[in-house]
Chains A and B, each alone.
Chain A
Amino acid sequence: MNIEEKASKEPMIEFIDVHKWFGEFHVLQGIDLSVDRQERIVICGPSGSGKSTLIRCINRLEGHQRGRIVVDGIELTNNIKNIEKIRAEVGMVFQHFNLFPHLTIVENLSLGPIWVRRIPKKEAEETAMYYLEKVHIAEQARKYPGQLSGGQQQRVAIARSLCMNPKVMLFDEPTSALDPEMIKEVLDVMIELAQEGMTMIVVTHEMGFARSVAHRVLFMDFGKIVEGNTPEEFFKNPQHERTRLFLSQILH
């Protein structure tokens, strides 16, 4: 087996018995999870179940207190250099977009490439324009985030992450803060991304999206992964009582 093959066989992200506490609150209770390259995972579950915390551990926005997390062959520790290396490879899209309001759209996109990847400004702006085209929003490049609608801002946020040419994309409830009519434009962009083979972990309650793009759907409750399965099996044939209850609540 040569090195390249080994690298592609090695999981992109691996959780081994990961625990985390917020004060006394045991938010992650022994997570074991392995995500392959190009795999797309949707995580759902009631609020407070630890699903956001789980994906925020992947780029160390939250630190875990027990167990191991390995991302792209690098174990997450307190080593700040390693953390920065991993963050550069892991894109993240937030519920509230978190664009930088003092910078124009194209400046938002080129900031990371210029300062983290050390790419010349001109080249970084060309890349930025390429990804803005991709999320169908190139005409807004010179505006400021505050001048855009929520759906447009979220598409910009996705493009901003893509500009870093990440190996994984994390989505933390990307459509929860959007008005209903804007959800589709964001999901469409995410579906296009999925079709290109991006490794994605998405926390969402958009079950239609889960059905059409996910390889695996995970259900979390009380800090544990209760069950995980292919979308067909997951929706048709949920194994656990709590999963059934949750699905009945969100699917009506």
Chain B
Amino acid sequence: MKQAVPAGELKPPVTHIGIIGWTKTNLFDGVFNSILTLVTLFFLWKVVPPLFRWAFLDSAWHTTGQACREAAGACWSIISINYRFILFGFYPYEEQWRPLLAMLILFGLLFYSRNREHWKKSLAYAWIIGLFTMGLLMTGGILGLPPVESTQWGGLPLTLLLAVFGLTAAYPLGVMLALGRRSRMTGVKVLCVLYIELIRGVPLISLLFMSSIIFPLFLPEGVTFNKILRAQVAIILFTAAYIAEVIRGGLQGMARGQYEAAESMGLNYYQTMRLVILPQALKIVIPPTVSILISAFKDTSLVVIIALFDLLKTTQSVLSNPEWMGFSREAYVFVAILYFLGCFSMSNYSRRLEKELSKGD
């Protein structure tokens, strides 16, 4: 007769636990998956070592363009020598600490706002003061800061400016458009539908062209609008239309009972929307909203077509310098990393927000 093993001493088979178990279930689970794993490993072996050699071992980090051409690997010198122009464009060299400080204030505020416990009235004041200070730093003209024309603004501060103001203004506008589209007042509804469909029917580029070329034609002689402002308005109007449609989806997902419960206790339309419907609807649509915000952030690079020097354009300008011609790979990798950091932190932030807000479920 076989000796029965006491339950406590019975261990799972060695092929099901630890590294072996993991490898088996995740990498070599059947013939097809095994082949996939081997093919993937082969490509990694082909790609990673040369890439690593190009980026780190054979690369030049802080040399002249001439020396770079002799190096076999990447020429990071194009970044380390030109980073101030890439980041700040034509902003006067001695004054570049000002946009830097403005960006640091922005990052600080964004970071502080991550925590929901900090969402108080004082935070709103901090943002108002912060934005005002940033504007002051960028324009100058008082407190002994030499004035800097907005035509000289460029690089990363310009990209962030267009993105941050564009998104924060487009969001509430989008909410209003979404509510308007569902309004019982026919006039409001028709206007909102027309607006949303018209804007969604044209590419952002054409809006930018219109704001920079056609719009000034309608202005009286001698009146001009700041070019950055015009691009900013185009971005806001464009993004708002997309946000409106996403939010409308969230509003349609709300159960009828929520409206009825709010109305039956005597809340008026605005209270019902603000206190009951929007907090829930906006939460549902966080993921698609963030997708729109991320693509809007990247779309700010389209302002190059109306000759604004955003981050992408300053990078291209460096590349047109004969000394650095041909090192576009390195330059674009650098810009890509900056954009990635921006987009990735946005999606990270939204995931945190979703988690915070879904505590009740």
Are the chains A and B members of one assembly?
yes
User: CB within 8 Å of B: which residues of A?
Assistant: 59, 61, 80, 84-85, 87-88, 90-92, 94, 96, 98-104, 111-112, 115-116, 144-146, 160-161, 164
22 contacts between A and B (CB under 8 A): A61-B263, A80-B268, A84-B266, A84-B268, A85-B266, A92-B260, A92-B264, A92-B265, A94-B260, A98-B257, A98-B258, A98-B260, A98-B261, A100-B261, A100-B262, A101-B360, A104-B360, A111-B276, A112-B265, A112-B267, A144-B359, A160-B265
Contact of A164 among B255, B262, B265, B360 (CB under 8 A): B265
Instruction: Tell whether B279 is near chain A: CB-to-CB under 8 Å.
Output: yes
Instruction: Tell whether B275 is near chain A: CB-to-CB under 8 Å.
Output: yes
Contact of A161 among B260, B265, B276 (CB under 8 A): B265
Which residues of the other chain, A, contact B266 by a CB distance below 8 angstroms?
84-85, 87-88, 112, 116, 164
Which residues of the other chain, A, contact B267 by a CB distance below 8 angstroms?
111-112, 115-116
Interface residues of B in 332-361 (CB under 8 A from A): 357, 359-361
Which residues of the other chain, A, contact B96 by a CB distance below 8 angstroms?
none
Please report the C-alpha to C-alpha distance between residue A90 and residue B260 in the assembled complex, in whole angstroms: 13
Which residues of the other chain, B, contact A94 by a CB distance below 8 angstroms?
257, 260-261
Interface centre among B268, B271, B360 (most CB of A within 10 A): B360
The answer to whether B280 and A101 have CB atoms under 8 Å apart is yes
The answer to whether A100 and B257 have CB atoms under 8 Å apart is no
Number of interface residues of B (CB under 8 A): 22
Instruction: Tell whether B283 is near chain A: CB-to-CB under 8 Å.
Output: yes
Which residues of the other chain, B, contact A145 by a CB distance below 8 angstroms?
360
Which residues of the other chain, B, contact A115 by a CB distance below 8 angstroms?
267, 271, 275
- Counted as pairs of residues, one from A and one from B, with CB atoms less than 8 Å apart, the total is 70
Please report the C-alpha to C-alpha distance between residue A87 and residue B279 in the assembled complex, in whole angstroms: 23
Which residues of the other chain, B, contact A98 by a CB distance below 8 angstroms?
255, 257-258, 260-261
Interface residues of B in 109-142 (CB under 8 A from A): none
Which residues of the other chain, A, contact B276 by a CB distance below 8 angstroms?
100, 111
Please report the C-alpha to C-alpha distance between residue A66 and residue B288 in the assembled complex, in whole angstroms: 45
The answer to whether A144 and B361 have CB atoms under 8 Å apart is yes
Which residues of the other chain, B, contact A87 by a CB distance below 8 angstroms?
263-266
Please report the C-alpha to C-alpha distance between residue A101 and residue B258 in the assembled complex, in whole angstroms: 9
Which residues of the other chain, A, contact B265 by a CB distance below 8 angstroms?
87-88, 91-92, 111-112, 116, 160-161, 164
Which residues of the other chain, B, contact A99 by a CB distance below 8 angstroms?
261
Which residues of the other chain, A, contact B268 by a CB distance below 8 angstroms?
80, 84
New contact pairs (8) apart from A100-B261, A104-B360, A161-B265, CB-CB < 8 Å: A84-B268, A87-B264, A100-B258, A100-B262, A102-B360, A111-B276, A112-B266, A116-B271
The answer to whether A102 and B260 have CB atoms under 8 Å apart is no
The answer to whether A61 and B264 have CB atoms under 8 Å apart is yes
Which A-B residue pairs are the 3 nearest by beta carbons? A88-B266, A144-B360, A98-B261
Which residues of the other chain, A, contact B258 by a CB distance below 8 angstroms?
98, 100
CB distance from A56 to the nearest CB of B (A): 8
CB distance from B85 to the nearest CB of A (A): 48
Contact with A along B163-174 (1 / 0, CB 8 A): 000000000000
Please report the C-alpha to C-alpha distance between residue A80 and residue B266 in the assembled complex, in whole angstroms: 10
Which residues of the other chain, A, contact B279 by a CB distance below 8 angstroms?
102
CB distance from A178 to the nearest CB of B (A): 16
CB distance from B298 to the nearest CB of A (A): 31
